[in-house]
A and B are shown apart, each in its own frame.
Chain A
C-alpha cells in the first residue's frame, strides 16, 4: 500500500513539476485563487484604462497649439468655464469608478471569506523559520503531525487555523488563496479548496528575521482516497529500522543533539522544539521547502545547516565522516 501511494504521489509530482517551483497568483489552482486572479485582471484593466486616459489628456494638453498670451493673468472666462465642466465631469467619473470598485471588492470579499463545513482542519503554527503542521482528528491516536508540508484532499474545503509561537509570520500559498498572518496571542483561520491534484508552493510573507527568505512550504493536493491513505500512514509511529546501517543511524540520531529538538514518534526522541521527523523521508523537501528531498541534500543539511540557512536555530552538530551515511540512511528511511 505504501508503494501505491508513493507511486501515485510521484506521478502527481511528475505531472506538476512546473508547479513545484511556481507560487504565482496568476496560476490559480483553486476556486478562491481563480476568483482572486479574475479580480486582479478586472482591477488592472480599469486602472490601465484610467491611466491611459490621463496620459492622453496630458499629452494633448502639452502639444495642442495655443495663441500667445503675453500676460499670464489674462484668462478667457469661456475656457475657464469649459475646464470647470470637464474637471467636474472627471471628478464624478472618478467617484463612480471608486464606488464600483469598492462594491466589487466587497462582494468578492463576502464570497471569498464565506465558510463551509471543512473536510479537513489543519493547525499550522509558524516558527522561526519553519511550519509546524497538525491535523485535527477525532481520536488522538490518529493525530498527524508533520512540518513544512500540508496534504489536502482535492475539491474539498480545507480550513487552516493559524497560530504563531515566536514572531509574526504570514501563511501564503498564492495559487490557492491570499495570505493570512500568524500572530502570537491570536488564532486566525482561512479556508480554501484545491481544484486539481498537484504540489503548490507557498512562502512566509511577513518579515520574521534572518531566514524569512527560506521559510517555504508545500501544499500537496491529492484525490480524496489517496489523501486518506496518506493520513493513515502519517498517523502511524515510525517503523523501527531493520537493516544494520539504519539501525546504526538510529543510534547515532538518538545519541546526538538531534533528540534535543526533534520528535520521531515510536522512539525516545520526543522534543517539540524543531520539526517532527517521524515521516521525514516521505516529504518532498527539507529545510522548509528550501532543498529538494534527496540523500545528498539531507547530508548537506545535517552537516552544515548554518551554511545553508545562516542563523537557523538548528546548530551545526559535529558528525564524524563514518557516521554520516548511517544517519542519512536512517533519516531518508523515515517513510
Chain B
C-alpha cells in the first residue's frame, strides 16, 4: 500500500499490488461500462470480437437460408417455387453473404477475440480502429440485406462479371448495392488485418520469440497479409465498376476501348487469395484443436509455419485457373495449372504434419476433435478435386458446372466451416465460461457430416453429367432430377445440424457446466486467464518459456510486472524476440469510431445515388475523424 500511496495516480504499477487490489484497479481501468453510450464506445477486443462473431453467425444463418431456398427450387426439374429473378438474387446473396459477410469476418472475429489472449496482451493494437471496423462491417451487411428485403438485391452473382453487371445489362441499383457493399467489407477487413499484424509483431508477451508463436496466431498473421495484398484488387475493380455504372467511364466496355476480361483478372487476383484468407485461419483452428486433443505439441511446427507462408505466396499465382475457358493463350494457362497443382505440396505438408501429430498423440474424442476429423475427410476430397480443376483440359469440361460447386463447398465447408464449428465448441467455454453439451455436440457433428456429404457429393456427378452452375431450373429430360432431390435432402439435414448448434449455444449459455480456466487442459496462453476473461485479460503479463506455456509451467506461469494499473498500458516488444521495449498506452473507449462509421456508411450509401455524395460526405467523415484523433492531454500526447 505504501508504494501505491507514494506514487502518482497515473503511475501506479502492478509490481507490488495484492491480487484483490490489482483486480479491482485493472477492472476499473479496462472495463466497458454498462450504459448504452459506454457499450457503443467499447474498444475491448473481446467485446468487439464477440459482436463480430455473433454478427457473422447471423449472416451465416441468412446465407444458409438462401441456400435452403435454392435447394428447394432445384429439388425438382422445372419447379416454379422461385422464378429466375428471385433465384438469381438468392444465389448472389448466398455467395456474397458467405464470402464477404460470413467467412472472412468470422475468421477475423476469432482473430480479434483470441489473438491478444494468445499473445498475452491486454488489447488489440489500434482498438478504436477495431471498433470502427466492426461498425462498418455491420452497416455494410445491413445495407446489403435491407436492399434484398426491398427487392433490389444484387442479381449478377457474387463475382459480378461485366458486362452482365455493367450499366447496359444490369440497370437499376442492384449491382451498385453489391459493389458498394464490397467497399464496406473491404474497409473493415483491411482495418482488422492491420490491427492483427501490429498486435502480433509488437504486442507479444515477453519471451514469445517467433518460434513460440502459436500456429493459430501464425495463420491469422498470414491471413492478414493476404488481406492487405488481395483486397485492394477487388476494391479497385468494384470502384471501376461503380464508375462505369454511375459516372459513365468505360473501363470494362469493349466498344469504347475497355476490356471485359480486365474485371475477371482483378476480381480473381483477389478472389483466389480470398479462398486462402478463409482457409488459412481455419488451419490455425485445426492446429489448436489437434494439439489440445491429441495431447502433444504439434509435430513439425516449423514446416507448418513455412507451409502457411508458402500457401500465402502461392495463392497469388493461381487466379487464372478461374479463367481457363476465356481463351487465354494456352502456354500461359498451363503455367497456372502448374502453380495450382504446386499449392497441393504445402497443403500436403500441413495434412501430413497433423496426421503425424495424431499418430503419436493420445486422441481425446470430444466434439471439437470430431469436427477436425470431419475436416480431414471432407477437405482432402475438396483438395483433390481442386487438383482436377487445376488441369486446363479437365477444367474445360467441369468449369462452371456443379462439379465446381461440389469442389469449393468441399474446400470451404470442409476446410473452413467444420474447423470453425470445432472452434466454437473449443473456445465457447473460454468466451462464455460455460461448456457446451457434448451430447448435442455429437449429434451436431454427425448430422452435419452426413448432411454435408449427401448434399454435396452428388453435385460432383451432376457436374460431369453436364449440369451447369447458376441455373434456376433444368429440363426434366436431362435426368438430373433424382440426384438433385438427394442433394436437397442432404441440405436439409445440414441445415438441421446448424439448428442444433444454435440450440446448443443458447442452452449452454445459461445451463452449461462451468468451465473453469482451462477445461481442455490446453497449452496456449488464452487458457491461462479466467473464463470469460477479465476486461484486462491477464492480471500480470505472462512470461513465455515454451510454445505450449501452460504445459511447460504446470504450477505457476512466470509473469512480468511494471505496467500501470490506473491507465491502459500494454507491453510493446521487439519483432523477433519479443524483448519488451516500451510501455505503450492503449486507447480509451470512444464513441467517435461509431460516429465515424456512420459518416462513412452514409457517404458510401449516398454515392450510389450521386457521385457528389463523396464530396459532401467527406465533411462529416472529416469531423468525426477529427473528434476521434483530438489530443486528450494524456501524458503520451505531451511527450
Contacts and interface: CB of A to CB of B under 8 A. Distances in A.
Contact of B376 (A36, A54, A68, A80): A54
B19 interface: no
A94 B359 contact: no
Interface residues of B, number: 87
Interface stretch (A81-89, A257-265, A266-274): A81-89
A1 interface: no
Interface stretch (A4-12, A108-116, A218-226): A108-116
Contacts of A303: none
A42 to B, nearest CB: 10
A117 interface: no
Contact of B373 (A62, A104, A108, A311): A62
A186 B391 contact: no
Interface residues of A, number: 88
B342 A186 contact: no
B474 interface: yes
Contacts of A109: 330, 333-334, 337, 391-393
Q: Helix, strand, loop or mixed for chain B's interface?
A: helix
Interface string B159-181: 00101100011000000000000
Nearest to A53: B380
Contacts of B296: 69, 72-73, 75
Given A22-B466, A109-B392, A213-B84, A72 B376 contact: no
Contacts of A174: 397, 466
Given A24-B465, A211-B84, A180 B325 contact: yes
Contacts of B363: 61-62
A104 B361 CA distance: 38
B399 interface: yes
A91 B300 CA distance: 13
A98 B475 contact: no
B387 interface: yes
A106 B396 contact: no
A203 B391 contact: no
B259 interface: yes
Interface stretch (B44-52, B209-217, B267-275, B344-352): B344-352
Q: Helix, strand, loop or mixed for chain A's interface?
A: mixed
A168 B466 CA distance: 19
B358 interface: yes
B103 to A, nearest CB: 21
Contact of B475 (A68, A86, A95, A290): A290
Contacts of B326: 181, 183, 188
10 smallest CB-CB distances across A and B, nearest first, come from A178-B396, A185-B254, A21-B477, A213-B471, A188-B327, A105-B391, A23-B466, A47-B384, A207-B470, A61-B359
Interface of B: 83-85, 88, 157, 161, 163-164, 168-169, 254-255, 258-261, 295-297, 299-300, 303, 325-327, 330, 333-334, 337-338, 341-342, 344-345, 348-349, 351-353, 355-356, 358-363, 373, 376-377, 380-381, 384-385, 387-388, 390-401, 464-466, 468-475, 477-479, 523, 546, 548, 551-552
Given A20-B477, A62-B358, A168-B161, 6 more contacts: A40-B388, A72-B548, A183-B261, A212-B84, A212-B472, A216-B475
16 contacts: A24-B465, A55-B380, A58-B355, A58-B358, A83-B356, A102-B338, A109-B393, A112-B396, A162-B327, A178-B325, A181-B327, A184-B255, A201-B466, A203-B468, A207-B164, A212-B471
